[in-house]
Amino acid sequence: MEHEMQAQEQPGREMPSPAGPQGTGRTRRSDQEEWRAEFPYPWSEDEIVTRRDTLRFLLAGSGALFLGTGVLAIVGTLPSGAQVKAVPVARVGELAENEWRVFEFPDQYAQGILINLPGKGLVAYSDVCTHLSCAVTYQGASKQLYCPCHEGFFDAATGNVLAGPPTRPLPLIELAVQDGIIYAVKVVPR
């Protein structure tokens, strides 16, 4: 479109003719000149990158990807630097059945959800949905954890996915009781 407008604005420019052998030849020449102007590589340099160069480049890329994957694996085996402190989340008997509470764990940037499940007792999970990280809430009637963003449902007894777009279960949070206080101890990714 831009080229057409430029061509109309330049009266001296050679315009393609729709009919006749001369017109066709002129069109071809004009197209070629335009192509050369936009892609000014001389033919003598057209074979700078040979197939063998491409092959070497791909081989180097393959090695780099292998090394990169290895680095990720090594990083994955390193112990996490920060020591997680046990965080008090509730007192024993504070939550009635089907009551729940959100608490900050392991730091102020992440949250967990503590639920007193009927017949099972206290359970805690990370409240970050494993789909796109929205916060889940507890629905006592169905004993499910619900993500309102994309209708994800998790089993409150296990943290496993029941329905919706999430594919992974919620990370567990291990609890410990000491002196009548319930502590969140550790996040267990699954």
Chain residues binding another protein by CB under 8 A are 51-52, 54-56, 58-59, 61-63, 65-66, 68-70, 72-73, 75-77, 168, 171, 189-190
CB of 143 to another protein, least distance (A): 26
Q: Which is nearer to another protein, 182 or 184 (CB)?
A: 184
Supply the minimum distance, in Å, between the C-beta of residue 37 and another protein: 31
> Among residues 108 and 167, whose Cβ is nearest to another protein?
167
Task: Put the strands of the sheet holding 144-147 in their side by side order.
Answer: 137-139, 144-147, 152-155, 161-163
The answer to whether residues 162 and 155 touch, using CB atoms and an 8 Å cutoff, is: yes
If the CB atoms of residues 3 and 51 are measured against another protein, the closer one turns out to be 51
Burial of 107 (0-12, 13-18, 19+ CB in 10 A): exposed
Q: Minimum CB separation from another protein for residue 39, in Å?
A: 23
CA distance 129 to 149: 9
Q: Sign of dihedral through CA atoms 81, 86, 88, 89? A: positive
Minimum Å gap between C-beta 107 and another protein is 15
Residue 184's CB: how many other CB atoms inside 10 A?
A: 23
Complex with another protein: residue 6 or 62, whichever CB lies closer: 62
**Nearest CB to another protein, comparing residues 63 and 118:** 63
* Residue 155 C-beta: closest distance to another protein, Å: 20
Q: Is the bond preceding 106 in cis, omega lying within 30 degrees of 0?
A: yes
Q: How far is the CB of 190 from another protein (least distance, A)?
A: 8
Which residue, 69 or 178, has its beta carbon nearer to another protein? 69
Task: Bin 116: left if φ > 0, else alpha if -120 < ψ < 50, else beta.
Answer: beta
Q: Which two tokens stand for residue 134?
A: 């929205």
